[in-house]
Chains A and B, each alone.
Chain A
Amino acid sequence: MATRLMFENSCEVGVFSKLTNAFCLVAIGGSESFYSTFEAELADVIPVVKTSIGGNRIIGRLCVGNKNGLLLPHTTTDQELQHLRNSLPDQVVVQRIEERLSALGNCIACNDHVALAHTDLDRETEEIIADVLGVEVFRQTIAGNILVGSYCSFSNRGGLVHPHTSIEDLDELSTLLQVPLVAGTVNRGSEVIGAGLTVNDWTAFCGSDTTATELSVIESVFKLREAQPNAVVDEMRKSLIDSYV
């Protein structure tokens, strides 16, 4: 199921959070209801960790991760690094990298197997991504945009890309990523998919401006309707849906 919410008055949920199959990061500040919405959906299954990166709240755009690891920009402070290492499961390798393009979340999009990267990313960074995140890295553009992390979002089950992506590009990307892809929008026509939503294999969070049509596309392409991480979570979700939508 996809949940709609806001961070303060912003619908850019993907800016203030980062969701993977093994953990969820949420920005400090904003209201408690932002954090508690994630907690309510995820608490029993994966840890929800409040953090900042380099003192910033835009954590979703600064870091990139999956079930194997989390990559942080060089602006991350030692305390933040330690806090994340302490709070995340042991199998998640947390690493801070020296990359000039420090908004890693804007430059890289990934799931547990494949990653799409900004064309100007360092060779070294590409190797670290492959190593730490355990993925195959492809340098790509999306509808002519180099900020692949901003204009697409994909899980192990499906993906959503910039609305102006051509059919040929869609097919090519779909073959590379080995998941079905759909060109669409979030938050009432916003093309910045990565900023507007955050998703993993069983749930998604998007801004409250997202229309019912966009929501149904999201639930369909990410296969959220059939998704059941375990029976307990499913039970919990049913009783919570009324209060969000």
Chain B
Amino acid sequence: MESSLKQKLFVCLLKGVVQADFVFFDPKPDDFHGVKILLQTYLDDTQWDLSGFVDLILAQTTVGTVVKIEGDDDDTPFAIVTALNLGRYKDHKCIKELKEFLLKVCQEKDVIRDLRLLMGEQAHDVGLLVSQRVVNLPPQLLPPLHDALFDEVSWATEDEPTAELRNSFRFKCYLLVSKIYKHKNANQKNNRNLIRRSGSDGGDGIVYIKPEDENFHKLSLWSFSFPMHTQQVETQEANYCLMGFVMAVETAKISTFRQQLQSLVVES
């Protein structure tokens, strides 16, 4: 594994530009190790049934995409995207632990009520949108990746063999667990974790690690951030700290999101 990585780096240094063809695959059991690495810090440094969570994702072959490079001997996943119905999988240990974790880290009284509802009574209408990737994944992949996900969800509502399964993909709302960098001074306002949704970009002191999170955030029903123990790679901006970020986005807003994503990539 080390030698092929070294070769790729060497080529990079020589030519400056690397040609890579990315391919989208359905999740399969062999992707276990790669996907697990991508999801290592999904719930901060909590010890939870991450292996069980990865197994769940890989077992759902009708909805979910793994991004790999064409002809790569290592078969390494570069990104994973999927949507898991919180009601369908509610009895799995990993989902129970995930719900516990989110309820524990949510510090906002207004949001926690909605969160509890979403993960409890309304769970069968909620899709946990899992999207993790390597830091340098080309942004041009984001629109097709998200299109693939939402298209697969809508196909599943028609193609799944049982009515129960078909209904399980009729999400009314998506829940996202992500990460952002927040300016340290932003916390010194009145409400510690309340994020001000200002019209101008960057005005709210947030740097979105995944560019589409900004779009999701603007369209979200509610959101909250929480402090993390794991630290990402040394950031140049010492004034920003890494925080976990949870959002709820209604399905009705998804088509707007998809349109916005197209233009986001065109600009960059």
Contacts and interface: CB of A to CB of B under 8 A. Distances in A.
Interface string B32-47: 1100000011000111
Contacts of A10: 40
Interface string B20-62: 0000000000001100000011000111101100000000000
Contact of B47 (A31, A188, A190, A209): A31
B2 interface: yes
A52 to B, nearest CB: 16
Interface residues of A, number: 13
B33 A9 contact: no
Contacts of B41: 9
A9 to B, nearest CB: 5
Contact of A8 (B2, B32, B33, B47): B47
A33 B45 CA distance: 14
A194 to B, nearest CB: 13
Contacts of B47: 6, 8-9, 31, 33
Given A9-B40, A10-B40, A189 B50 contact: no
Contacts of B40: 9-10
Interface string A200-220: 000000001100000000000
B2 A9 contact: no
A147 interface: yes
A231 to B, nearest CB: 33
A188 B33 CA distance: 8
Contacts of A209: 51
Given A9-B40, A10-B40, A147-B2, A189 B33 contact: yes
B33 A208 contact: no
A204 B47 CA distance: 21
A147 to B, nearest CB: 7
Contacts of A9: 40-41, 45-48, 50
B51 A8 contact: no
Query: Which of B2, B40, B41, B47 has the most CB atoms of chain A within a 10 A radius of its CB?
Result: B47
A188 B48 contact: no
A147 B5 CA distance: 15
Nearest to B50: A9
A37 to B, nearest CB: 12
Interface in A85-136: none
Nearest to B43: A9
Nearest to B229: A8
Contacts of B51: 11, 188, 208-209
Interface in A1-55: 6, 8-11, 31, 33
Interface of B: 2, 32-33, 40-41, 45-48, 50-51
23 contacts: A6-B47, A8-B45, A8-B47, A9-B40, A9-B41, A9-B45, A9-B46, A9-B47, A9-B48, A9-B50, A10-B40, A11-B51, A31-B47, A33-B47, A147-B2, A188-B32, A188-B33, A188-B51, A189-B32, A189-B33, A190-B33, A208-B51, A209-B51
Closest A-B pairs by Cβ, 3 of them: A9-B50, A8-B45, A209-B51
Interface of A: 6, 8-11, 31, 33, 147, 188-190, 208-209
